[in-house]
Chain A
Amino acid sequence: MEIVDLKKSFGDGEARQEVLRGVDFSVKRGEFCVLLGPSGSGKSTLLNIIGGIDKQDSGYVAISGDKLEDMDEKQLTRYRRLHLGYVFQMYNLIPNLNVKENIEVGAYLSSKPLDVEEVLTTLGLQEHKYKYPNQLSGGQQQRVSIGRAVVKNPDILMCDEPTGALDYKTSKEILALIEDCNRKYGTTVIMVTHNEAISKMADHVIRLRDGVVRHNITNEAKVPASELDW
């Protein structure tokens, strides 16, 4: 994945705010990439542009040579459908579908989905599979949300502050799960976080500040999620 000179601003005139001011980097297939930065650094905007749900003002994003900006709405939907899995800070589960069914919502979209039961086992949700979202804890809900994204067997897993609303222990569990998916299924992971510690588990860390890439580091000594501390 190539991100070339990506620029994006919001508002007009005096209220104009440049969120991305020429971002360049690339992500290799199967890589665990973390977009690190404080609030307002433009990392979520960057993730949304990569995910094809927001548009840049200039520059481009290319996946295997295909530029997203050349795609129309239908092609973008197809791109997301076939290649991307999304995990948000908020779990956005469908309240009147149970755990298993919420995961099936993801499986439906894929031509090569993983086995739902296997994903439930991997995520430790077997015993909760017939529960409704409101019967689960925040961590359990986030597991379901990861399951929904992973079951598609996507090429890229987009995670936007997946642990932002979770406690320390649960956060580590969730990170371990994402790590597992990356390793087990070879899924490329792009994760947005403001948590410095999380960057240690990544292959590739992009540090953003004020809309530009301050550091683009390849992590030589990855730390497993279970050993992270903050």
Chain B
Amino acid sequence: MKNPLIKRIPKELRTDWHKYLVIIIFMVVMIGVISGMYVGHDSMLEAVALGREELNIEDGSFELKMKASPELLSAIESGERADVKQYFIDEGIREADEEVAKAIEDELRETVRGEIERAVREQCAAYGITDEDAIKSRIDAAIAANYDDAIAKARESEAFQNAAAEAFEKAHEAVIEKVDEKWDEISEEYELDSAFDAVPVTVFENFYRNEPEDAEGDGAEDATIRVFSSDSEVNKASFLEGRAPEKRNEIAIDRMHADNVGVAVGDTITVGGRRFEVVGLLSYVNYLTLHESNTDLMFDAFGFDVGMVTPEAFDSLPSRMHYNYAYFYSEEPADKVELADNADNFLKMLITQTLVNDNEIEDFIPEYLRQASNFAPSDIDSDTAGTALMCYILIAVIAFVFAITITNTIEKEATVIGTLCASGYTKRELVVHYMTMPVIVTLVGAAAGNLLGYTAFRTVALKLYYNSYSLPACEPIFSREGFVKTTVIPLALMFFVNLFVILRQLRLSPLQFLRRDLRRTRRSKARRLPAWSFLRRFRLRVMLQNISNYAVLIFGVIFIELMLCFAFGLPDSLEYYSEKAPEMMFADYQYMLMGNKDEDGGLITTGEPSAERFSSTTLKYAKSRDALFEGLGSGGDESVTVYGIEEGSDYIALPDELRKGEAYISSAFRDKFGLRAGDEITLSEEYANKSYTFTVKGIADYDGGIAVFMKNTAFNAAFDKSEDSFNGFLSREEITDLDEKNIAVVITQKDITKVTNQLMHSMGQFFWVFKIAMVVLSAALIYLLAKIIIERNEQPISMAKILGFENREIASVYILPTAIVVTASALFSFAVGYLLMIQLFKLFMLQMDGYFAFYMKPESMALSVVYLLVGYAFVSLVDFARIKQIPTDKALKNMDV
């Protein structure tokens, strides 16, 4: 026989459907959102990873000034460095030979001419001819008649041949001597003495043209479009809509750019002065974000575009061809260090091979450093940190709601449990019975949540990504991490929390259940209350009677406030950071240079009076040891910008007594890792086994980034640079006299706000959804908690009705205390939630690069409390209706249940 208690489950679901509906909605929304984010996240990363394989993404690329000769290409593919010495010798000898040959020729001609003239003059003297004009005309005649023969004869002469050979030999010796003399310099310039391993590669053409794009058809250039040919074998595109171009007048362009500028398939745009019909919207595997240049701090999906045309159309475009080549390593690098070594060796080789093959490098980017293909995946990857945090908070809330629901049920059914126990029901049977409902509800919630997660919420998550990046189309995949976090963990949590609570409750003896003697401790006397009016004392009694319920309610409200602080505070913090970012910059312009010497080897200088030299480098700070727990764990190490600042700087004030090995750190660095003056920090190179330790001497008031400041001299000493070395300028004004070629990147206020604006653009919608979800969840949670209080008091309420109390009076006794507690605890919980959020946010920031503190606007603070109270106002209306519905026979008929 099946346990007949099982029949209670569907009946309970039917009777209390609104309670379970609220709980299930609560769970479905939470699990759905989190599952959707994980599925979206995993699907997208999978699509990107798959795309990299299928669309043949390069290992790196280089652009040459001229089209590479077959010799150069095969030399590059060999991976071997060119024989630079021989090249310089050959070049020297070639030049020397030309010079020597010319000199010999000149000498020969001069000598022969002189000889002829001398012979004619001697003849004229012998004939007594003195007239100079006559002599000159005879000389000319003699030269005309004999010069070539004489030259030929002289060339054949042994003396000439010996002299010429000697001259060439001497010149060659001089060339070799000079190359030897200058070898150290050459070696240094081409890094020929450094360690080198040949990295064989395969090279493919990946030419492009940068054309003006006019999407609006008004004749004005709206963007620059980088056009590739559709027959490229590498760095291919996936299509989100439409197809690849097939005709000369067809083009496919980037989906994100098209969305931004309002171009759709079927529209016509002008590229390079020619009209093209847009037949497809694509995502190039190496342009997941539209970074025009790798040095751009932020991508620009409005002003830059990538596109694909047929080879014929490509050839007919007017702008100059960019001879860009993609390369693939013959052997896949084993790890990050080898990847970096390979890129390093490849570049050394490329420099020498282009040199000896008379070409020039215009650009070189190893794929792992390419912003356009790596920015989006790494950003998407870092999203999980926030999701996990949210997940943990919400799971705790579900478990908590269930625990109190179960406690309430067991208390309500105490005498029934006592009777069942007395009749011989085992604890196991009762535990299984009471566990069934939460497990079923969690299963239903998880199933429906996951279903939504894999469909609607996944679409929301993907939309978020598509709003930000030029990502490829993706298929939903099973997210193992998402499954564990949204299904396995909630189920396990629900199971164990409820098992714990139920076992604890059922520890009581059958007799205790029968007598409703459920408290482990009992007050011997009732509390004495002040001589207030009867109703006030009644209310206070209700409050005291339900003190444990209110404790639970306060606990719940703290959770809700914490969530509301998150929902309000995160966008506030971003906005605040965005607004304050310009103020945070210590210089209006930061010019990072390619090096500190110009083409001619001269030190780069500027006439800008406010400009000040500085040095900087980026190192890594190990943050795993500071992350509080793993799993929420630090993705990677923190990027720290180390600045070398000029003595007496106008931008960063460093005290004179700062010694070698001592440094100031930015206030953001201090706040993120809780550092103090006197602490030691160890920073290391990312791709080399080299680390540097500095003592924190003080804090520089700079919230804009994780930075370390020291004197430039100390910087140069620490990083083995020459004494006067620097690699950038800080400036208040724009510097106009720097050669563009020498500038690596310029960081201005606009760049800083561009980042946060982009973040707000991508995440704004998410915050809005999140806020609404939190308000709904908060109302649902208060609903459940308030319901418990009314349910616990159903009999007294019924009795009060029998005694003749009006609903209004009963409400003032049973709802008002709750209202007072909710209001007071909302304010208290806001303070707790706010302070807790500050700490949690710090933890959250540990997962990210950079730092900004949690901030809430005063109006957001007020709103987070008001939202909760508005939610409660609705709940109290429901409570009032519930009180009205409690029948008077409740107190009479069912005293025992």
- On whether the two chains bind one another, the answer is yes
Query: Hey, which chain B residues are within 8 Å of A74, CB to CB?
Result: 426
Are A92 and B424 closer than 8 Å at their CB atoms?
Answer: no
Q: Does B1 contact A (CB under 8 A)?
A: yes
Interface string of B17-48 (1 = CB under 8 A from A): 00000000000000000000000000000000
Are A96 and B8 closer than 8 Å at their CB atoms?
Answer: yes
Min C-beta distance of A92 to chain B, whole Å: 4
Query: Hey, which chain A residues are within 8 Å of B889, CB to CB?
Result: 134
Q: Which of B12, B422, B897 has the most A CB atoms < 10 Å from its CB?
A: B422
Q: Which of B5, B423, B425, B893 has the most A CB atoms < 10 Å from its CB?
A: B423
**What CA separation (Å) do A143 and B510 show in the bound complex?**
22
Query: Hey, which chain A residues are within 8 Å of B15, CB to CB?
Result: 96
Q: Does B895 contact A (CB under 8 A)?
A: yes
Min C-beta distance of B524 to chain A, whole Å: 10
Q: Which of A79, A86, A104, A134 has a CB less than 8 Å from the CB of B4?
A: A104
Query: Hey, which chain B residues are within 8 Å of A133, CB to CB?
Result: 894, 897
Are B511 and A48 closer than 8 Å at their CB atoms?
Answer: yes
Q: Which of A53, A92, A106 has a CB less than 8 Å from the CB of B511?
A: A53
Q: Which of B49-57, B411-419, B570-578, B721-729 contacts A (4 or more CB under 8 A)?
A: B411-419
Q: Does A77 contact B (CB under 8 A)?
A: yes
Interface string of A69-80 (1 = CB under 8 A from B): 000001001111
Given A90-B895, A133-B894, A134-B894, do A97 and B424 touch, yes or no (CB 8 Å)? no
Q: Does A105 contact B (CB under 8 A)?
A: yes
Min C-beta distance of A120 to chain B, whole Å: 14
Are A81 and B424 closer than 8 Å at their CB atoms?
Answer: yes
Quick one: closest A residue to B412, CB to CB?
Answer: A95
Number of interface residues of A (CB under 8 A): 36
Are B3 and A92 closer than 8 Å at their CB atoms?
Answer: no
Are B425 and A97 closer than 8 Å at their CB atoms?
Answer: no
Are A85 and B896 closer than 8 Å at their CB atoms?
Answer: no
Q: Does A43 contact B (CB under 8 A)?
A: no
Query: Hey, which chain A residues are within 8 Å of B420, CB to CB?
Result: 105
Quick one: closest A residue to B427, CB to CB?
Answer: A77
Q: Does B509 contact A (CB under 8 A)?
A: yes
Min C-beta distance of B405 to chain A, whole Å: 16
Q: Does A152 contact B (CB under 8 A)?
A: yes
Are B4 and A92 closer than 8 Å at their CB atoms?
Answer: no
Q: Which of B4, B422, B893, B895 has a CB less than 8 Å from the CB of A97?
A: B4
Are A96 and B12 closer than 8 Å at their CB atoms?
Answer: yes
**What CA separation (Å) do A53 and B894 show in the bound complex?**
24
Min C-beta distance of A93 to chain B, whole Å: 7
Interface string of A52-77 (1 = CB under 8 A from B): 01100000000000000000001001
Min C-beta distance of A165 to chain B, whole Å: 9
Q: Does A148 contact B (CB under 8 A)?
A: yes
Are A53 and B4 closer than 8 Å at their CB atoms?
Answer: no
Are B422 and A51 closer than 8 Å at their CB atoms?
Answer: yes
Q: Does B7 contact A (CB under 8 A)?
A: yes
Query: Hey, which chain B residues are within 8 Å of A97, CB to CB?
Result: 4-5, 7-8, 11
Min C-beta distance of A140 to chain B, whole Å: 11
Quick one: closest B residue to A83, CB to CB?
Answer: B424
Query: Hey, which chain A residues are within 8 Å of B706, CB to CB?
Result: none
Are B426 and A92 closer than 8 Å at their CB atoms?
Answer: no
Are A106 and B896 closer than 8 Å at their CB atoms?
Answer: no
Query: Hey, which chain A residues are within 8 Å of B707, CB to CB?
Result: none
Q: Which of A81, A113, A134 has a CB less than 8 Å from the CB of B426?
A: A81
**What CA separation (Å) do A224 and B893 show in the bound complex?**
30
Q: Which of B416, B421, B509, B510 has a CB less than 8 Å from the CB of A94?
A: B416
Q: Which residues of A contact B (CB under 8 A)?
A: 48, 51, 53-54, 74, 77-82, 84-86, 88, 90-97, 101, 104-109, 113, 133-134, 148-149, 152
Besides A80-B422, A94-B897, A96-B8, 8 new A-B residue pairs in contact (Cβ under 8 A), listed by A number: A53-B422, A53-B514, A54-B509, A78-B424, A79-B424, A85-B423, A90-B895, A104-B1
Listed by A's residue number, 7 A-B pairs whose Cβ atoms lie within 8 Å are A81-B426, A94-B413, A94-B897, A96-B8, A101-B7, A107-B4, A134-B894
